[in-house]
Amino acid sequence: MARKTHRKRSHFNWVQSEDPSLSHQDIMDSANTLEFDPKEHQHLRYNPLRDSWVLVSAHRMKRPWQGQVEKPPEDDIPRHDPSNPLCPGSTRANGEVNPDYDSTFLFENDFPALQQDAPDPGSEHHPLFQTKAARGVCKVMCFHPWSDVTLPLMQLNEVRKVVDKWADLIEELGASYPWVQIFENKGAMMGCSNPHPHCQVWASSFLPNEPGLAERSQRDFLQKHGEPMLVQYARLEAQRKERVVVDNDDWLAVVPYWATWPFQTLLLPRRHVLRLPDLTAQERDSLASIMKRLLTKYDNLFEISFPYSMGWHGAPTGSYLTEDMSHWQLHAHYYPPLLRSATVRKFMVGYEMLAQEQRDLTPEQAADRLRSLPEEHCKLGEKKDDAGLD
């Protein structure tokens, strides 16, 4: 009997492997005597925006990595490459020549996923073979004329111009379309084919899946709890601080409690704001500042140009502009794939594709690592060292 009691104080997995004759109840009793540690014990976390659960298994970070190793991002990108179709003065695939722009530059995507004049596919009445019309426009927006800079390396006033252009696009395209998706794929690892600072803007005649989920979840939360979900969430995260990476008077960036990607962040205004055009001049200034700080920390984590996909979610537009959308809160998602180093990424395969999302370190661990990094960009430090400056 003493031998069995001793085993119940041991780790759950050790009990199971040491004596397979133990009953399921014995094993569960053993697990219940342990003190839960989120860094050591797997658990589920709820994502209220997607109404789904994430499996957190931080102890898996101890396993040796023998999987795929990525090629580090290029570090010698020329400032101007005439063969790069995003550079000033370059000729694009459709034969058009870019102007010699010196700030942001917007143009129609030469290979758009959505077109305004697509024909209607017609109706299909069978529930297993449904189709709907899909129309829209796709644009490309360059942030800067130089190919060798990214948002964290741009001047603050240059980042502010990006923010203003984003807001203008939501207002302009949102007058006609119910959803305007601004997104940036940064780095070849995220499918970016042109090493030049830019984003894409897709306006669609329909509400896509992810915003549709966020729409339902935020509406339900407000009805049940009397406060917009992400307004309450931002206030609670600001109080708890353990997942805050950077913040200022108007914004905070956190590794969300339900994060899936290793160093995923959620950028939130402190004030209740529905859409980018609703931001005040002060909030736009502070948004440019916090974006630059957050992305500098990303680059400093592994001292590379950190890959990610990011995008803005705000209240739907078009016909929704006349509806009560007070359940919405403006926010931006950052989804970086890197996990252990500049060359080891997180893969969403197998269990994640067939069962549910899973992550290998806790959001609190990820936030602590990012928070502890300097806010001076590693490249700027290198330039000082090369110049012999302190």
CB 266 within 8 A of CB 301: no
60 assigned binding-site residue = yes
285 assigned binding-site residue = no
CA–CA separation, 263 and 339 (whole Å): 8
CA distances from 140 to 160, 178, 202 (A): 18, 19, 9
218 assigned binding-site residue = no
28 assigned binding-site residue = no
Taking phi over 0 as left and psi of -120 to 50 as alpha, with beta for the rest, 318 belongs to left
Task: Identify the H or E element spanning 292.
Answer: helix 281-302
The residue annotated as part of the active site, out of 198, 313, 327, 333, is 198
For the sheet with 244-247, list strands across it.
105-108, 136-142, 198-204, 179-186, 308-313, 331-335, 265-269, 251-254, 244-247
CA–CA separation, 252 and 290 (whole Å): 8
68 assigned binding-site residue = no
Tokens of 233: 């969430």
Strand pairing category for 357-359 and 52-56: parallel
358 assigned binding-site residue = yes
Tokens of 294: 């957050």
346 assigned binding-site residue = yes
329 assigned binding-site residue = no
63 assigned binding-site residue = yes
141 assigned binding-site residue = no
CA–CA separation, 306 and 316 (whole Å): 30
62 assigned binding-site residue = yes
Tokens of 252: 């905070």
191 assigned binding-site residue = yes
Amino acid at residue number 388: G
139 assigned binding-site residue = no
Is residue 331 among the annotated active site residues?
Answer: no
Mark the binding-site residues for UDP-alpha-D-glucose, compressed into ranges. 60-63, 93, 109-110, 185, 191-193, 200, 346-347, 351-352, 358
Which amino acids are annotated catalytic? 198
Mark the binding-site residues, compressed into ranges. 60-63, 93, 109-110, 185, 191-193, 200, 346-347, 351-352, 358
